[in-house]
Amino acid sequence: MTSSVDFEALRPSPADVRVLTSDGSAIAAHSPVLASASPVLERMIGRARRGWDTGCSIRILGAAPDAVASFLRFLYSQSQREATGEWPEEEAMAAHGAALLALAHAYRVAWLKRRAEEALAARLTAERAVDVLKLAALCDAPRLRLRCARLAGKDLAAVELSDGWRFAGRHDAALQIGLLQLLHDADQRKKRWDRERASQAVYRQLSDAMASLERVFLTEASPCDDNDRGACTAHQGLVQLTRHLAGCGNKGGEGGCQHCNRMFQLLRLHSSVCHRAHGEPCRVPLCSNLKTKMKAEKVDKTWRLLVKKVTRAGAMAALANREVPEMVNKSWAKCSRSRGCRATRFR
């Protein structure tokens, strides 16, 4: 039986290859088109051909005849895609996206595989998430697999009600376990990122406090203005804490004043991050005394790590606040837009 699909009209030369499908139908095609689009088809044609002037037959099995015909149409339309930038056969991609992904992976058609991944990701639902996840694992499509995992993380209850989830529970428990492990790892990773962001915020605040502490003892005049209420509040708080330290009569001991103990910790941290040259005076009180004391005593590892992170946070804040050239801003904006366009295809 011969298929009604006519590829001879697309090429001036006569068809010299018959593509046999699963139901026994044959599709006439041109060997140069197939060989140039797929290295696998090129080898299949080379093995099947016994002479330069005789035709040959190859088999593309494992997919519906309509999906095979759509696959061949995409191979023929590659030149049109490169010339116009448009994707033909959108209806065929919507109807046979899964089969086209499998065929493109099996026959190593990279551009069609990427297009099929994008089409499946755009039409992904909770009902099909498990089936597409299995297909992505078999076809080595990590971005599509990640898209399925994100959908399952957002609506796991709906995924668990799907037929694919129930089928995997009966016949492929490893797929269920792998998906749950992937969601667990993503949740743990998100919690770790949240903890790291919270820690970085604390180190940034300590770095800002060190800068405010120097301004407090440099001059009593407040550097506040209407545009920076946060800096104004921090400066006034440090001024009040300093005045309290000067007049408090309960400074020492474990049961001493909590405000004084907090101020002493800030002064100690300042002396650790202060890098003035030897002999250059520091206006912050007890800076040189605390430096000498810490050199004489052995500073614990936890304190050294805190000093290192606060110093790094201050350096990163200075880099973030620096003035960037306009050319660099334009290049970064262009790069961000191109990355965003690629990322939205798999969201």
pLDDT of residue 298: 79
Owning domain of residue 218: 192-332
Last residue of a domain, one of 123, 139, 170: 123
The model's pTM: 0.65
Chain segment 191-218, per-residue pLDDT in tens: 999 999 999 999 988 888 888 887 777 6
Spatial separation of the C-alpha atoms in residues 337 and 329, rounded to whole Å: 12
Residues 111, 9 share a domain = yes
Is residue 169 in a domain?
Answer: no
Chain segment 262-297, per-residue pLDDT in tens: 888 888 888 888 877 666 778 787 788 888 888 888
Residues 201, 95 share a domain = no
Is residue 118 in a domain?
Answer: yes
Last residue of a domain, one of 80, 106, 123: 123
3-class DSSP state of 148:
helix
Last residue of a domain, one of 123, 147, 174: 123
Spatial separation of the C-alpha atoms in residues 106 and 116, rounded to whole Å: 13
The pLDDT > 70 percentage for the chain reads 80
Please report which residue ranges of the chain form alpha helices under DSSP H.
31-37, 39-48, 65-76, 78-84, 90-95, 97-106, 110-122, 129-138, 142-154, 156-160, 163-171, 173-218, 229-247, 258-273, 287-296, 301-320, 326-344
Is residue 285 in a domain?
Answer: yes
Query: Which residue has better confidence, 94 or 236?
Result: 94
Is residue 108 in a domain?
Answer: yes
pLDDT of residue 171: 92
Residues 119, 198 share a domain = no
What's the total number of domains in the chain? 2
Give me 178's structure tokens: 């792998």
Is residue 220 in a domain?
Answer: yes
Is residue 119 in a domain?
Answer: yes
Q: How many CB atoms lie within 10 A of CB 263?
A: 20
| Euclidean distance between the first and the last CA atom of the chain, given in angstroms as a whole number | 43
Residues 37, 109 contacting (CB under 8 angstroms): yes
- Crossing angle for the helix pair 97-106 and 129-138, to the nearest 10 degrees: 10
Is residue 1 in a domain?
Answer: yes
CATH code of the domain in which 22 resides: 3.30.710.10
- Written as one letter, the residue type at 30 is H
Chain segment 242-258, per-residue pLDDT in tens: 777 777 766 655 566 88
CATH code of the domain in which 260 resides: 1.20.1020.10
pLDDT of residue 102: 95
Is residue 165 in a domain?
Answer: no
The pLDDT > 90 percentage for the chain reads 37
**Mean pLDDT in residue range 22-33:** 90
pLDDT of residue 329: 77
